[in-house]
């Protein structure tokens, strides 16, 4: 974990020290700051990091064949990735100068009245390090690579019934209530898809209190969703959101420290570098590994695999078609029933009575009984109880 103890305090932060959009590493201001850093190194004005030492440490060349400074300089993301391969003390020295230049760029833009916010970085009400494991130690420098599991607490973005009525009016939406679950949603038109013969399949977007789902019009018509009056919608929506918690928690998986030796192990689909600040003030810079990939990455790093938390599993199953093998040969997966996503426990009929007792339910579909976990805010706690039964 990078301490960043020498960081400038000129960039303001929000909440409990969590970085705001000014503290962004992929903005135009960061690009200008990086150019300024390279210029200082090339001109010998960054005394702690001479040009030759910088090029040798990072493998980044700033010098053209003619001996001048290159026009085509290394991009920001490559610079950050190479920075993570250095010793921790050198990371801090270079990043401290980079942040100083970044804050100057931002302050100048604010003073000139031309400041534009960039892409948001990782922010939340609270980040807490749940576990930290060293996965690699460089034999020559003793620099380390750490895997961090971080709990993220965020304020729940809850829309009122009145806000959803305005939303429906603005986007020509229909007010819906599910006859089986009692949940409410606003159905609005969304982009169509094409079938194998090139025919158009119209779809709608179901906007619910905590998620959005795209379904075909045919799936919607054959489901338990029904158009209702404004009064019925307000009653159902209000009942649902009143039961929601004020805050939600999920988990981030970060690999920090020296990354170059294990770079090929990390998923190549995204190589973005993020930073965040934990509730105890530690500043973390590293690569986020998705929950979908973390089991494979842990295995390749030589760590003992741990089952994802129930909350992580529920989110992955519903949002990313993830399936998880549970003890006893039971599979947790997403199934679509009448156009609605369900969390199904496959091959669990022998334990149906025990599972129903902890909150699951069964349904006979096409003459076959199947076991499901409700897709409510209690899904994670019910799944935890299911895992307890399965051992």
**pLDDT at position 27 over 90:** no
User: Which of 60-74, 190-204, 285-299, 302-316 has the highest average model confidence (pLDDT)?
Assistant: 60-74
pLDDT of residue 5: 36
The band of 371, judged by pLDDT with boundaries at 50, 70 and 90, is: very high
pLDDT of residue 7: 32
pLDDT tens-place string over residues 226-283? 999 999 999 999 999 998 888 888 888 888 887 777 777 887 766 667 888 898 888 8
**pLDDT at position 81 over 50:** yes
How far apart, in whole angstroms, are the C-alpha atoms of residue 77 and residue 205? 35
pLDDT of residue 188: 94
Tallying the residues shown for the chain, one arrives at: 391
Q: In terms of DSSP bridges, do strands 283-289 and 247-257 run parallel, antiparallel, or are they unpaired?
A: antiparallel
Residues 6+ apart with CB under 8 A from 120: 21, 24
How far apart, in whole angstroms, are the C-alpha atoms of residue 132 and residue 146? 7
Sign of torsion over alpha carbons 145, 149, 153, 157: positive
pLDDT tens-place string over residues 162-210? 999 999 999 999 999 999 889 999 999 988 776 666 677 888 999 999 8
pLDDT tens-place string over residues 318-333? 877 778 888 888 999 9
In the Cβ-directed half-sphere of 279, how many Cα atoms lie within 13 Å? Answer: 12
DSSP H helices, 44-87, are 51-58, 76-83
Name the E strands within the chain.
Answer: 13-14, 18-19, 126-137, 144-155, 174-178, 184-194, 200-207, 212-216, 225-227, 247-257, 273-277, 283-289, 324-326, 330-337, 340-346, 361-365, 368-373
Rounded to two decimals, the pTM is 0.53
H or E element at residue 107: helix 88-111
**pLDDT at position 351 over 80:** yes
Least confident stretch, 209-218, 288-297, 367-376: 288-297
pLDDT of residue 14: 26
pLDDT of residue 38: 94
Quickly count: other Cβ atoms within 10 Å of residue 59's Cβ: 12
pLDDT of residue 26: 62
Q: Which of the two residues, 340 and 342, has the higher pLDDT score?
A: 342
Question: What are 372's strand-pairing partners?
Answer: 344, 361
How far apart, in whole angstroms, are the C-alpha atoms of residue 257 and residue 146? 6
How far apart, in whole angstroms, are the C-alpha atoms of residue 24 and residue 7? 14
Name the E strands within 13-143.
Answer: 13-14, 18-19, 126-137
């Amino acid at each position: 974990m990078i301490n960043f103890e020498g960081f400038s305090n000129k960039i303001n932060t929000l909440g409990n020290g969590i970085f705001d959009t000014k503290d962004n590493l992929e903005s135009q201001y960061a690009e200008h700051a990086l150019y300024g850093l390279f210029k200082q190194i090339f001109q010998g004005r960054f005394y702690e990091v001479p040009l030759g030492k910088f090029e040798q440490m990072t493998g980044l060349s700033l010098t053209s064949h003619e001996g001048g400074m290159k026009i085509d300089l290394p991009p920001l993301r490559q610079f950050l990735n190479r920075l993570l391969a250095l010793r921790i003390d050198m990371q801090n020295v270079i990043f401290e100068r980079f942040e100083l230049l970044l804050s100057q760029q931002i302050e100048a833009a604010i003073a000139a009245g031309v400041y534009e916010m960039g892409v948001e970085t990782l922010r939340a009400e609270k980040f807490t390090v749940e576990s930290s494991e060293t996965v690699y130690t460089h034999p020559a420098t003793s620099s380390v690579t750490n895997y961090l599991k971080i709990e993220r607490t965020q304020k729940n973005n809850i829309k009122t019934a009145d806000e959803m009525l305005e939303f429906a009016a603005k986007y020509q939406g229909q007010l819906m209530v599910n006859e089986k679950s009692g949940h409410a949603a606003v159905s609005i038109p969304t982009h169509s898809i094409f079938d194998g013969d090139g025919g158009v399949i119209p779809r709608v977007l179901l906007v619910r209190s905590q998620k959005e789902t795209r379904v075909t019009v045919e799936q919607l018509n054959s489901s338990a969703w029904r158009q209702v009056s404004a009064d019925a919608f307000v009653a159902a929506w209000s009942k649902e959101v009143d039961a929601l918690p004020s805050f939600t928690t999920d988990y981030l998986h970060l690999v920090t420290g020296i990354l170059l030796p294990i770079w090929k192990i990390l998923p190549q689909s995204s190589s973005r570098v993020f930073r965040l600040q934990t509730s105890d003030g530690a500043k973390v810079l590293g690569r986020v590994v998705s929950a979908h990939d973390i089991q494979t990455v842990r295995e390749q790093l030589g760590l003992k695999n741990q089952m994802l938390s129930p909350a992580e599993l529920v989110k992955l199953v519903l949002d990313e078609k993830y399936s998880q093998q549970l003890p006893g040969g039971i599979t947790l997966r997403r199934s679509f029933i009448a156009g609605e996503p369900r969390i199904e426990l496959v091959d669990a009929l022998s334990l149906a009575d025990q599972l129903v007792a902890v909150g699951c339910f069964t349904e006979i579909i096409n003459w076959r009984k199947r076991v499901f976990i409700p897709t409510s805010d209690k899904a994670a706690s019910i799944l935890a109880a299911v895992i307890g039964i399965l051992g």
